[in-house]
Amino acid sequence: MEKEFNIMLELMGHNYFPGVFALQKLKENSFIIMEKLDSNLEQLFLARGRKFALPTIALIVHQAFAALRIFHDCGYLHRDLKPENFMVGSETHELKLIDFGLADTLTVRQASTLIGNVRFCARQSHFGVSTKKEDL
């Protein structure tokens, strides 16, 4: 959790990432206190009858790729991209990328097991390869 908090601190101030306030530890549990966000993309998609208008899709793609560009420029791979990890800001209505628990530094590695979500991971991830290209 501390690694995730430090990544969030590094990204604070960039668009497409939530503001973070503190890391709190209470007995055996840790909590990150961050900006309040609304629904994630999966929730919005289901709430709209599993359909988005073309301008909405274009906006989502633009903001998601912009978030990933910043994340990669800061030297990280997300490794768990999925609709649930893109939230909408409650005030700005801008996409915010979250959940950096599986994030790692941007280097090519050979993993012994699949990292991330099997439904949304890149083909190469099934073979244990983690690169910037596979994070897209």
Across the chain, which has 136 residues, the per-10-residue mean pLDDT values are 94 94 93 94 96 96 97 94 94 92 80 61 63 58
For position 73, what pLDDT does the model report?
A: 95
Give the architecture-level CATH label for domain 37-135. Orthogonal Bundle (1.10)
Does residue 118 sit in helix, strand or coil? coil
Q: Do 30 and 1 touch, CB atoms closer than 8 A?
A: yes
For position 13, what pLDDT does the model report?
A: 92
For position 106, what pLDDT does the model report?
A: 83
Domain ranges across the chain: 37-135
